[in-house]
Every structure is written in C-alpha cells, then in structure tokens.
Amino acid sequence: MRYSKNVSAFRPSPIRSMMKAVVNPNVISFAGGMPGEELFPVDDIREMVANMPRKAMDTALQYGPTDGLPILVDLLTQEMSKKGFDMEKNRIIVTTGSTQVMNIVSKLLIDQNDIVLTEDPVFCGSAGAFCSYHAQLVGVKMDSEGIIISELEKALEKNPKFIYTTPTFHNPAGLTYSRKRRMEFLEVMAKHPDVMILEDDAYGRLYYDNDTQEDIVPMKTYAKNEQQIIYCSSFSKIFGPGLRIGWMVLPKEMFEVAEIAKQSMDACTPQFSQMLAYEFWKSGRLDRYVEMLRNTYKARRDKMVECIKKYCPEDTTFVTPKGGFFLWARIPDSIDIDKLFDNCSERGVVFVKGIAFSADYKNNQHIRLSFSNTNPETIEKGIKLMGEEMYKLMK
Ligand SMILES: Cc1ncc(COP(=O)(O)O)c(C=O)c1O
C-alpha cells in the first residue's frame, strides 16, 4: 500500500490496543480511563429522549452548525462566563470529544517537525494526536506541585509552537498544580507570548477534597495574557464518553480558522448528543449527577489508596490524587515491570505500564491505575493480587 508520510508519524495508543485484549468480563481492569459504566445516567437519558418534542428530534437528527448546537453554545458561553472566562474576547466551539480539540489545534499550529512541549508523563491520546501532525514532542518533568519551572525554561529555548498542559487531576500523573506553581508557569509563559498554551481540563469537576478549590480554577480565567491560552473540557467524564462531546474556549481571532479546520473533520458534532447534553445541564440534572460521581469516585480513590498501602511493598510511592480517575504509582526498582504486567494479566488484573505515557517512549518504573470503573470490593481484590505479584518479583 502506498501510504502517505502521515502514517509513519502515527503513534498508536497502547491503551486502545490493550483494551482490545481485555474482552474477558472477569478481568479486573485498572487500565482504561473510563467512567464507571454502571453509573451512567441511563434513566435520565431515557426520560429526556422520551420527552423530546418532534421538532427537537428533527433538529437532533439533522446536520447542524459546525461550531455547535446554538442553544448549547449559548449555555456553555454563559457557564464559562460565570466561571470567570472573558467571553467578550473568546468563543466556544463544541467538538466531537475533546480529542478533536487536540486535532484542531494541531492542524492549526503544527508544521512538520515543530516542537510541542508536554508534561512528562503525558496522556497518550493527546500525544498521539500531536504526533500524527508530525510534531516532535519534548516532555517536561513534574514534581508534586506541577511542571518543574527550571525544566520548562530550558525546554522553551527549543522554540516550541505550543505547550499542552493538564494542570488539574492530570492523566496519568494524578497531580494537580498548586496555585503558586500555576502563577510561576504563567509568568514564564508570558515571556514567550508566541508560544500558545493548550489547557486541558477534562477532569476539573471531579474533585474529591475541598481544599483544592483555589488550585483548580482554570488558568485561562486569570492569566494576564489569557489570549495565549486555548482551554478545553469535555462531557466524557461527567455524562458519557460515548456521546462524544467536548468544547474549546478559544481567542475570537482563532475562531474562524478553527471552525474551518473542524468542518473538514466531521462537519459538525452529533446534534443528538448535543441536545441531550444541553437538556442534562440546563435542567440541573448534570449538577446532581456530578455530585453523585464525586462521592462514588472518592470512595474508590480512598479504597485504592488504602489497599496499595496495605498490600503493596512499602517503597511503592505515589501522590494521592485529589480528583480525576488515576493513581500513578512508582514501583520498587527491583521489580521488572514487564514481568509484573505479564504475571498480573495472567491472573486477571491489568493496568497500564508507564512507558505508554512517556513523552519519548522511555521505560520507567511507573504504572497507571485507574480507580473509576471498579467498585471498592473489586479494587481490593485486584490490588491484593497485584501486591502478591510484586512481592514475588522483588529480589
Ligand atoms: C486528559 C484528557 N484529555 C482529553 C481526553 C479525551 O477525552 P474525550 O475525547 O472523550 O473528551 C481524555 C480522555 O481520557 C483525557 O484523559
């Protein structure tokens, strides 16, 4: 086959390929970053569909405006404005998952071999999107408070096109930048006004500890040069990823080109999904649902933390995630991570090896454990088994 050069730049998602293998329903999976499916608001969706007037149904099944269903765009504009975004200077585009934001931004900003900075580790889905537009990724290390500023300054010398950051409930690192680190980040970035910032806030509403409130405010709402930032979020973790709806808040100046870029990808985001998202949010169901999710996921997070402390070797280290779906654990150096993965999967427990999230595909001693889609009893069973395998492999 005479494939284009694009194909050689593809970076397949190790999680997607692993998920194909995890078809056995008895497997305890800490691998995928998926919401708890038994929690999906199925009754609400049934009711909303049943009560949808014929006229609305016609709209739902029709093509729609590329930038989004007008009532949803208006609602998001109001909600973002309430959160502190300057909606005089910015506009909303509703996207087909926030994955599409990564693709739109890449299409607009990346030329072959352009440098894109990311945190290291980085969410492999976004990394894959940037690479498919022939970007070269440069990863910047983090500590427990966020990106390391001296490393960022060094990386900026490479003249990157943009930096991709997930400062809140990072996937996979489970970290949240402190307010202080956010200010330092913005201060450094302000010295490089031509380097755009892509701020990904996929998990912002899923916080489990109230002391994070000040930290998790999106940077775009208070950055002096907020026009340097493109912000995105998603309905995937607070409604259902199968509906494929995300959104971006971007400088007005970029709106038209971004809309054209999206046009050639999918013409519009499914109207049906947008109609449901609008009704879900507008009617107050979303807020109630998110509250239930926070309580449920907090219990799962707590259980996983408790079990790792109880069943895994003492020098297994991690920062307790204050929100989101992921716990990023560093396992003892003496454990061969590939063997651990093989032995655990043979016994029916899977996770993702850290290499999947390395900006430059380097091996490391981390594993990503997702607690969102597993109930507390099963979390205990899975972590206990993983702990047994860890002890067996320790030399
Ligand atoms: C940090 C982050 N950003 C973006 C996405 C993409 O989500 P979606 O395209 O479903 O909105 C994910 C999904 O797991 C994610 O973890």
- Model confidence pLDDT, tens digit, residues 323-354: 999 999 999 999 999 999 999 999 999 999 99
- Model confidence pLDDT, tens digit, residues 348-381: 999 999 999 999 888 899 999 999 999 999 999 9
> Mapped to the 3 state alphabet, what secondary structure does the chain carry?
CCCCHHHHCCCCCHHHHHHHHCCCCCCEECCCCCCCHHHCCHHHHHHHHHCCCHHHHHHHHCCCCCCCCHHHHHHHHHHHHHHCCCCCCEEEEEECCCHHHHHHHHHHHCCCCCEEEEEECCCHHHHHHHHHCCCEEEEEEEECCEECHHHHHHHHCCCCCEEEECCCCCCCCCCCCCHHHHHHHHHHHHCCCCCEEEEECCCCCCECCHHHCCCCCCHHHCCCCHHHEEEEEECCCCCCHHHCCEEEEEEHHHHHHHHHHHHHHHCCCCHHHHHHHHHHHHCCHHHHHHHHHHHHHHHHHHHHHHHHHHHCCCCCECCCCCECCEEEEECCCCCCHHHHHHHHHHCCEECEEHHHHCCCCCCCCEEEEECCCCCHHHHHHHHHHHHHHHHHHCC
Residue 15, pLDDT score: 65
Residue 18, pLDDT score: 61
Distance from the alpha carbon of residue 300 to the mean position of ligand 1, in angstroms: 20
Q: In the predicted model, what is the mean pLDDT of residues 31-57? A: 96
Can you list the domains of the chain with their CATH numbers?
A: 5-42+287-394 (3.90.1150.10), 64-283 (3.40.640.10)
Question: 372 CB less than 6 Å from ligand 1?
Answer: no
- Model confidence pLDDT, tens digit, residues 128-176: 999 999 999 999 999 999 999 999 999 999 999 999 999 999 999 999 9
pTM: 0.96
Distance from the alpha carbon of residue 315 to the mean position of ligand 1, in angstroms: 30
Atom of ligand 1 at shortest range from CA of 33 = 14
Which residue among 126, 201, 231, 371 is best mutated to probe the pocket of ligand 1, counting the most ligand atoms within 8 A of its Cβ? 126
Atom of ligand 1 at shortest range from CA of 123 = 1
Distance from the alpha carbon of residue 241 to the mean position of ligand 1, in angstroms: 9
Distance from the alpha carbon of residue 395 to the mean position of ligand 1, in angstroms: 38
Atom of ligand 1 at shortest range from CA of 170 = 1
Atom of ligand 1 at shortest range from CA of 99 = 9
Question: 98 CB less than 6 Å from ligand 1?
Answer: yes
Distance from the alpha carbon of residue 349 to the mean position of ligand 1, in angstroms: 23
